[in-house]
Structure 1
Amino acid sequence: MKNYEAYTVADFIEDESFQEWVQGRGNRQSFWLSFPERYPDKLEAFRQAEQFVRAATVAPERISEAEIRRETEKLIESAGSYSPYRQLVSSDLNDEEASTPIRYPFRWGLAVAAVVAVVIGLRWYGSFDQPRQVPAHLPEGPINQLVETVNNTPHLLRVALTDGSEVVLSPKSRLRYPAHFAADSRTVYLTGEASFSVTRRNQPFMVYSGETVTKVLGTRFVVRAFDSDKKITVQVRSGKVSVYRARVNQNAGNKEVSGLILYANQAAIFEKSDGNLTKTLVANPAIVTQSSQETQFVYDAVALSVILRQLEKSYGIPIQFDEQSFLECRITATLSNESLYEKLDLLCKAASATYQITDGQIVISRQTIH
């Protein structure tokens, strides 16, 4: 039994099971996912080791044929002008002996072997180059210095960032991010789907995904941006998020950005075909206030307007309606495990009303009686 309470950063790095988990392999996913909760004192070492293993598995940049030739020429030149063995023995020779050229039949053999080793090594190093799916319209920056994590497993993969934020990467998804964030920004690049839990900081956290940018200070949200999908979606679980289209040649002096502001349970949909960005609601809105009194809604002849305002507060979704139209409408019901839309269906049926989702809001209208 391993003594995890005494684990250091080096112990984590040398642990094969830990390495496999970081790389999305192995059969101890649940153990390592729950490790920070079971051993909170080891959280810092755990995260440092995780970042080290991820950085060590970054796909290398491709080495060109020209670079291979240059390195080979340098090695041949140095082999012809320098002999460590000659320098070692020349100090024991007299002047005449030292001035006499010393021939070593194995010298060029070693040089040639070294050159061959370099060429083979460089070709092997370059052969691991993989085509990278980089989101379009990235801002200028040291992109080649980013760490890349690819989830090639059928399971969710957790990625811990150095600012304390966490990303849960879906299968067949790819995340690129700095090993250490800069002091003035936090920027990552996503291809695929991921759930973000962003630690609140003064520096904005920005997710580039395809042609969209999601900008937050601290919140929880989900981005889906697979190359094969016809649209990109951003769903907010808590807090506030701004979503806008990335501009390739935006003037640095122009700070105006056309986009959307999303709150909890709201979503943005970007249509790749026409570049249209719209706001709607998530498929299954969740209660954002977890008070025990608000998880079950019990009403006894309560005005519909009161019920709707309570739902608005509980789900954090604006509900628009004409209070005068429902002034005399009172509801007796118990609502608990139903989804928000099921609750609205029941209330609207009792009040002879209908509802629509417009611009991330719920609009309720009284049915016209003929």
Structure 2
Amino acid sequence: MKPYESYTIEDFLEDESFRKWVQGQGTQEIFWLSFLEKYPHQRDAFRQAEALVRAANVAEEWIPEKEIRAEVERFIEQVAGAAPHLQIGFSDDDEEPEVRSGFWKRWLIAAAAVLVLGAGIGWYYYQNNDLEPRIATADTSPPNLVTTRNDSDKPLKITLSDGSEVTLSEQSSLRYPSEFEDGARVVYLTGEAIFSVKKQGQTFMVHTGKVVTKVLGTRFVVSAFDEDRNITVQVQTGKVSVYVDKPSENEVKGLIITANQAAVFEKSANQLSKTVVENPEKLPDNPVESILKYDEVPLPVILRDIEKSYGIPVQFDADSFWTCKITVAFSDESMYDKLSILCKTVSAGYEIVDGQIVVSGQGCSK
């Protein structure tokens, strides 16, 4: 096993599996995503090496070789002071730099190119006892996105840089920046994932094809497999807005959905609608006791308790149903089972309309 607990920046850069993971090409996503949980003291070296690998992808043909070589010479002088063990120098024929590996050569040239262009990663060193490298991001263009794909047979947990957690379902992938910058926190999902978004001032946005889910902080599920007919967003806690990115003239532009509600985008019809989730769960702060016993209680009172328990609006004619006295004891029944029992008792019915429960019937005679 490699000595990860003592890895230096150089060790990370020379680790092929680490470089491939940063570039979204590796097969060890689970290991590197959980690396800092196991080795939290390695955070600085880990993050700096990650940024260096991204800089190494800069095309070295952008500027003339002569200018690149001049910048490499200046850059090597800085590196030599902080890491003399790198064994970097120029060959006798004065053509190109000699370094210990091909990757180091490409890294140095790319870094020099970035310096000349005045964009990308800015390099600097400062004195803190010994010289310690630090990296500042100067590029204002969108960063390269990390791609994590779950090819396993069980959910994969990802912790984003803002502390938000994503549980990625099987055969699903997520594209996201290694570090969120100022402005909205934006990720791109293919497949299905559960999002537990940490509440911050920045908006969190999930792009899934034409549908965008926008929140500040809550827990929700997005399902957007390419082969499925629909894209669905189901809210477990809190509130989210769901809208179609660049809608056509006849499309619904956006919806607000809350706990136990779902937004469904039908791909073939380009139609966005609101409904209730298949298995509503009681709210965590449910004000109604889990075991409910009613003795000759008006139906509207019971329906309001259901509304409070699940956070789903229930619409009915209170005057018509007020004379319907119900005696019943609920325990572990689902929300739909409770509604069915109540409706059968008073010869009524219910349906789901626009994310709400609508109960209708003749009511009870006085």
TM-score range, shorter chain: 0.5 to 0.7
Q: 1: distance between equivalents of 2:262 and 2:350? A: 18
Per the alignment, do residues 56 and 169 of structure 1 end up closer, same or farther by CA in structure 2, a change over 3 Å counting?
farther
Per the alignment, do residues 9 and 233 of structure 1 end up closer, same or farther by CA in structure 2, a change over 3 Å counting?
farther
Displacement of 1:171 after TM fit? 0.8
Contact 2:288 2:309 in 1 (8 A): no
Residue 132 of structure 1 corresponds to: none
One-letter code of the match for 1:366? G
Per the alignment, do residues 23 and 167 of structure 1 end up closer, same or farther by CA in structure 2, a change over 3 Å counting?
same
Q: Is residue 232 of structure 1 aligned with residue 231 of structure 2?
A: yes
Per the alignment, do residues 142 and 269 of structure 1 end up closer, same or farther by CA in structure 2, a change over 3 Å counting?
farther
Per the alignment, do residues 293 and 368 of structure 1 end up closer, same or farther by CA in structure 2, a change over 3 Å counting?
closer
- 2:344 is paired with a residue of what secondary structure? helix
Map 1:7-18 to 2 at 5 A.
Answer: none
Residue 23 of structure 1 corresponds to: 29
Q: 2: distance between equivalents of 1:362 and 1:350? A: 17
Map 1:168-207 to 2 at 5 A.
Answer: 168-207=167-206
Identity score, percent? 45
Q: 2: distance between equivalents of 1:297 and 1:55? A: 57
Q: 2: distance between equivalents of 1:295 and 1:9? A: 52
Per the alignment, do residues 53 and 349 of structure 1 end up closer, same or farther by CA in structure 2, a change over 3 Å counting?
farther
Pick from 299, 308, 311: which aligns with 1:304?
299
Q: 1: distance between equivalents of 2:305 and 2:50? A: 46
Work out which of the two has the higher radius of gyration on C-alpha atoms and give 1 or 2. 1
Per the alignment, do residues 86 and 301 of structure 1 end up closer, same or farther by CA in structure 2, a change over 3 Å counting?
closer
One-letter code of the match for 2:151? N
Instruction: Supply the RMSD in Å over aligned alpha carbons.
Output: 4.4
Higher RCO (CA-CA < 8 Å; seq separation 6+):
1
Q: 1: distance between equivalents of 2:42 and 2:285? A: 31
Displacement of 1:57 after TM fit? 9.8
Q: 2: distance between equivalents of 1:46 and 1:332? A: 63
Contact 2:194 2:219 in 1 (8 A): yes
Displacement of 1:46 after TM fit? 8.8
Residue 263 of structure 1 corresponds to: 258
Structure 2 spans left out of the alignment, 5+ residues: 70-89, 107-139
Map 1:1-370 to 2 at 5 A.
Answer: 23-24=29-30, 84-85=91-92, 142=141, 145-247=144-246, 258-291=253-286, 294-367=289-362
Per the alignment, do residues 21 and 297 of structure 1 end up closer, same or farther by CA in structure 2, a change over 3 Å counting?
farther
Q: 2: distance between equivalents of 1:23 and 1:143? A: 22
TM-score (norm 1): 0.65
One-letter code of the match for 2:340? D
Greater per-residue strand proportion: 2
- 1:309 is paired with a residue of what secondary structure? helix
Displacement of 1:293 after TM fit? 5.1
Displacement of 1:74 after TM fit? 5.5
One-letter code of the match for 1:184? G
Residue 77 of structure 2 corresponds to: none
Displacement of 1:289 after TM fit? 3.8
Contact 1:189 1:207 in 2 (8 A): yes
Q: 2: distance between equivalents of 1:360 and 1:243? A: 13
One-letter code of the match for 2:305? Q
Per the alignment, do residues 248 and 322 of structure 1 end up closer, same or farther by CA in structure 2, a change over 3 Å counting?
closer
Contact 2:145 2:176 in 1 (8 A): yes
Q: 1: distance between equivalents of 2:46 and 2:318? A: 55
Q: 2: distance between equivalents of 1:289 and 1:201? A: 21
Query: What per-residue deviation string (whole Å, max 9, x for no partner) do you get for residues 109-167 of structure 1?
Result: x99xx9xx89xx9xxxxxxxxxxxxxxxxxxx955611111111111000101111100
Structure 1 spans left out of the alignment, 5+ residues: 1-6, 37-41, 88-106, 122-140, 250-256
Contact 2:264 2:274 in 1 (8 A): yes
Contact 1:25 1:153 in 2 (8 A): no
Contact 1:222 1:234 in 2 (8 A): yes
Per the alignment, do residues 22 and 269 of structure 1 end up closer, same or farther by CA in structure 2, a change over 3 Å counting?
same
Contact 2:143 2:177 in 1 (8 A): no
- 1:334 is paired with a residue of what secondary structure? strand
Q: How many residues align?
A: 287
Q: 2: distance between equivalents of 1:50 and 1:333? A: 60
Displacement of 1:232 after TM fit? 0.5
Displacement of 1:248 after TM fit? 8.4
Displacement of 1:86 after TM fit? 6.1
Query: What per-residue deviation string (whole Å, max 9, x for no partner) do you get for residues 266-297 of structure 1?
Result: 00110111210000000000001445852221
Q: 2: distance between equivalents of 1:46 and 1:321? A: 59
